Amino acid sequence: MMRWWLKHEKDNAASPAPALVAEGYFLPESSESLLAADHRKRLLERIRQYTALSQPQFDQLYLDPIHRYAKYVQQLPASESHHHAYPGGMLDHGLEMMACSLKLRQSYLLPSGAAPEDQAAQTDAWSAAIAYGALLHDIGKIAVDLQVEYQNGELWHPWHGPLNKPYRFRYVTGRDYQLHAAAAGLLYTQILTPRLLDWLSGYPTLWGNLLSLLANHYEYAATLGELVLQADRVSTAQNIGANPTKALQAPTRSLQHHLLTGLRHLVKNEFKLNQPGAAGWLTENHLWLVSKTATDKLRAYLLAQAVNGIPSSNIAMFDELQSHGLVDTTPEGKAVWSATVSDEGWQHRFTFLRLQPSLIWADEIRPRCFEGTVELVADNTVPSGEAIESALDRPQATSAKETPEPLPPNHDFDYLDDLMGMLQETVEHEDESSAQGLKSSTASPREAPGLAFVDWLREGIQSHRLLVNDCKAKIHTVDGTFYLVTPGIFQLYASEHPELSAGDDKTDAWRRTQRHFEHLGVHLKRPNGQNIWTCTVQGPRRRASLNGYMLQNAETLLSPVPTDNPFLNLTY
């Protein structure tokens, strides 16, 4: 039986609902009220800082969609028992995603491979598209994963507009866990106004990436999809108590891939099958894995493989396996089955995860099937004393007036301090170094690509092989330091080091070099935290603009530093 989510007291909650609202129901709140919570105001301020827009521009491009989003998601959770699984979790996750994605976006010049002047002209559009994709990536859940009911018994569907009467909600039994991604199309036009969509549709590459992302085709969403996936890993990892920085550095393969790979490894190499004391039994149509043993071993294996974002509790792990379609769902909508295993002279009752054998062996030869029997327990109840955690085995309220069970999340949102701290700093990478340490480095392009690039700059400038302050130069002196024109300087470096593009597109080679240089942290950032500075170039016949990096300490490359180029002026 589905469990209604009941109202709980928490920090920053709105005023008590009027007496006419029945117990267990939520009163719809204004977006202003929802966003007035302290932790949400902090996230909004962080988002505003990352956009570096004037207040009217920020209100139009960001605050208006956020308010529309808040009106729709209200107190709905982001998941049933994994991350942000509490009333209001969907709104928190959306805001965290926006903040994370905008922070990550600062390290990218978009669209990739475009001329610097085109990248500068499209900066605001790409930032907004990334933020919208992050905010809306789970919006389909409120349409298909949750059943929302008004106090009068009428069902609410989001395509009718925001909630406007007291409501309660519960997760749909037997839901299709892949459907919410497809349902986003029902809703994102409710959050993004026609004017915003008109604006974004004017940039074909951006528009195609955004539509692919919102349709859950991340493989066609290019960098935009990559940034949203990274932001999702950070927000999820932080909320469930994992390390957000490690989650950011994790391989780009999906969690579904890691879960399936882990299950295949354990079943083929570590689990005993079809015998007393085994971890599982293989029948003709199903593979039955003892739920707690399989889950504990799977978690340990994935952690040993440095996979981050793994749920720390079996409750959340069951939900994750179920959401990715890796385990069969019971008729009651649970991930855990109860069955009795019998063979000659013995029988035992277990709780199981039930899998399709083809997931593990595909077309490979399978072990022999169990010669005994695996019979389901009629009521699918968990045996007394069985060590198991399941989101659906917890006590369930059958009436809105029953005492609500306590919710697990940290309601004081202390974890946001760690998240904000992480967003304040550049993510650590293996080729990071201090500016002082650059003076005597002799790095190879393969082993330390960022340092090797700086060595190349130094040698080229000191030997006069690389032109400085020439009309065709990629290096100038501005405001007392070196100004590196992008992407020209990185493209020149990649062309002189063909080994960097072996097997890859040359575009990938210079772009990787640029990222490794950024990770060194030796360049100056603009007051708004962005990496790229724009200069106007005033020549005798025409005026143009350049994008580039400003070095923190020019003397690491050459001393004394040449005088400033009189034809270049910083604009921002």
> pLDDT by residue (tens digit) across 45-74?
989 988 888 899 999 999 999 999 999 989
Residues 6+ apart with CB under 8 A from 376: 337, 338, 339
Going through 249-400 in order, the beta strands assigned E by DSSP cover: 280-282, 287-290, 337-343, 346-355, 373-376
Residues 6+ apart with CB under 8 A from 372: 281, 341, 342, 343, 344
For 244: left if phi > 0, alpha if psi spans -120 to 50, otherwise beta; the answer is: alpha
β-strands 481-485, 373-376 pairing: unpaired
Q: Which two tokens stand for residue 540?
A: 């005798």
Asked if 213 and 133 touch (Cβ cutoff 8 Å), the reply is yes
β-strands 543-551, 533-538 pairing: antiparallel
Dihedral angle, C-alpha 327, 328, 329, 335, nearest 10 ° = -40
pLDDT at 172: 81
What is the SS3 assignment for 18? coil
d(CA 265, CA 170): 35
Angle at 435 between CA 434 and CA 439, to 5 degrees: 110
User: Number of C-alpha atoms within 13 angstroms, CB side, residue 505?
Assistant: 5
Q: Which two tokens stand for residue 42?
A: 């902090």
d(CA 76, CA 420): 24
Taking the chain, what is the end-to-end CA distance rounded to the nearest angstrom?
60
The amino acid present at 224, given as its one-letter code, is L
pLDDT at 448: 73
Q: Which two tokens stand for residue 151?
A: 């106090």
Q: How many residues comprise the chain?
A: 572
Rounded (to 5) percent helix, strand, coil in the chain: 40, 15, 45
Q: Which two tokens stand for residue 269?
A: 């190499």
Among candidate residues 560, 531, 561, 520, the one with its CA nearest the CA of residue 438: 520
Angle at 287 between CA 283 and CA 293, to 5 degrees: 130
Helices 222-239 and 123-136, packing angle to 10 deg: 50
Which sign, positive or negative, has the C-alpha torsion 443, 448, 450, 456? positive
DSSP code at position 54 = -
d(CA 31, CA 41): 12
What is the SS3 assignment for 541? coil
**Which CATH number is 31-250 given?**
1.10.3210.40
DSSP for 422-445, please give it. Answer: HHHSPPP-TT---SGGGTT----T
Q: What is the pTM of this model?
A: 0.52
d(CA 511, CA 119): 14
pLDDT at 199: 95
Among candidate residues 451, 338, 426, the one with its CA nearest the CA of residue 388: 338
Q: Measuring CA to CA, how many Å separate 532 from each of 346, 379, 494? A: 71, 63, 20
Q: Fold for domain 436-570?
A: Thrombin, subunit H (2.40.10)
DSSP code at position 258 = H
Asked if 100 and 230 touch (Cβ cutoff 8 Å), the reply is yes
Which sign, positive or negative, has the C-alpha torsion 129, 131, 132, 137? positive
pLDDT at 2: 54
The amino acid present at 136, given as its one-letter code, is L
Asked if 188 and 212 touch (Cβ cutoff 8 Å), the reply is no
CB atoms under 10 Å from CB of 1, counted, come to 11
What is the SS3 assignment for 165? coil
pLDDT-flagged residues of the chain (< 70): 1-19, 81-82, 175-178, 239-254, 306, 308-309, 379-447, 502-507, 539-542, 572
What is the SS3 assignment for 245? helix
Residues 6+ apart with CB under 8 A from 236: 82, 83, 84, 93, 242, 247, 309
The amino acid present at 160, given as its one-letter code, is H
